Amino acid sequence: MASTHSLSAEKLFSVQDWVCLVTGGGTGIGLMAAQVLAANGAKVYITGRRQEALERAAAQHHPGHLGGEIIPCGPCDVTKKDDLDKLYQEISAKEKHVNLLVCAAGIAGEKAEPDQEHAGSLKEKLWNNESFEGWNEVYNADVTAVYFTTVAFLPLLQAGTDTQGHLSASVIVISSMSGIMRHAQGHFSYNAAKGGTVHLTKLMSAEFQKLRIRVNSIAPGYFPSEMTTKSSGSDQKSHLPAEKVQEKGHVPAERPGSDEEMAQAVLFLTKNAYVNGEILAVDGGVLNVVSGR
């Protein structure tokens, strides 16, 4: 039986002295995840393709008083096995285990709005604005890379579970509400890939639970990131005005999600060891308006 004192938010969501790794950790949702983990006491390694972005993110965002750290490592292109192996060797040389892996790296890919009512015109638009190469690139980054990143770190994750003595080590995959809805949003390849990411989460959760490693996913709606705004500031943060979200006409919250709201989702899936194989939509109510599966 838990005492009332033990149910304080500070105790429930502490990741004091945890070791975490966040791919795509230099900007956007990856950086949000790194911030909340470090703010609650974790040592957080962040990686990505741009070393300068990683270093700026670590320098600009100090965790606070609980002793957490944000540490740039890599750089690493998660679509390359050699880079993932080097990253594994780099982390394993410093740490005996990893408690949490957050797979936040991803790309948006090509876009073509299917807004033509004549089949010939629709074919021309989609045919000319999308390519096999573009589809393969977004699938590699958003699905295949998630799989191989997770596989690469299975030994350190299992060691992270063993040091805690219960089902604690886990993977959080950043998918998207786009992988759940039927609306193409003008990017068939991205939505199809994120649908693959959603299902991959479920497959890995079932297969890797034998290693006592949980796998869950956050399916975000509109959050400020370089993917949604095309830029970030000197602090590696992006700004998404509420008016831009309101223009879409299908967001009941009428604003983008906040860093705090993403942070709450990350901590929940990180610490609740009774949750496995779940897709947590944090979307401002979009999936109540736009049809899902």
| 99-127 mean pLDDT | 93
Tens-place pLDDT, residues 132-160: 999 999 999 999 999 999 999 999 999 99
Q: Who has greater pLDDT, 239 or 94?
A: 94
Q: Which candidate in 43, 194, 237, 271 is catalytic? A: 194
Asked about 190 being catalytic, the answer comes back as yes
- Please give the backbone phi and psi of residue 92, each rounded to the nearest 5 degrees, phi first: -70, -25
CB 201 within 8 A of CB 216: yes
Mean pLDDT for all residues in the chain? 91
Q: Which candidate in 175, 176, 189, 238 is catalytic? A: 175
Cα-based distances in Å from 6 to 9, 223, 239: 9, 33, 37
| 188-197 mean pLDDT | 96
Looking at residue 81, its pLDDT comes to 97
Asked about 175 being catalytic, the answer comes back as yes
Looking at residue 61, its pLDDT comes to 86
**Range 20-32 burial, b when 16+ CB lie within 10 A, else e:** bbbbbbbbbbbbb
Looking at residue 102, its pLDDT comes to 98
Tens-place pLDDT, residues 47-76: 999 998 899 988 888 877 778 999 999 899
CATH, range 13-288: 3.40.50.720
From the list 76, 24, 54, 59, the residue with the least C-alpha distance to 223 is: 24
Q: Which candidate in 45, 88, 190, 222 is catalytic? A: 190
pLDDT at residue 260 tops 60: yes
From the list 51, 52, 66, 100, the residue with the least C-alpha distance to 218 is: 100
Looking at residue 237, its pLDDT comes to 66
**Range 259-281 burial, b when 16+ CB lie within 10 A, else e:** bebbbebbbbbbbeeebbbebbb
In angstroms, the CA 5 to CA 36 distance is 22
Verify cis geometry, omega within 30 degrees of 0, for the bond prior to 241.
no
- Percent of the chain whose pLDDT exceeds 70: 95
Domain ranges for the chain, please list them: 13-288
Place 166 in a pLDDT band, splitting at 50, 70 and 90: low
From the list 31, 16, 91, the residue with the least C-alpha distance to 237 is: 31
In angstroms, the CA 85 to CA 57 distance is 23
**How large is the greatest C-alpha to C-alpha distance in the chain, in angstroms?**
67
Asked about 194 being catalytic, the answer comes back as yes
pLDDT at residue 93 tops 70: yes
Place 220 in a pLDDT band, splitting at 50, 70 and 90: very high
| 5-30 mean pLDDT | 93
Place 162 in a pLDDT band, splitting at 50, 70 and 90: low
The answer for residues whose C-beta is within 8 angstroms of residue 33's C-beta and 6 or more apart is: 22, 25, 102, 104, 172, 174, 262, 263, 266
pTM, full prediction:
0.93
CB 223 within 8 A of CB 29: yes
Looking at residue 293, its pLDDT comes to 67
Looking at residue 100, its pLDDT comes to 98
Tens-place pLDDT, residues 221-247: 999 876 766 766 777 767 888 888 898
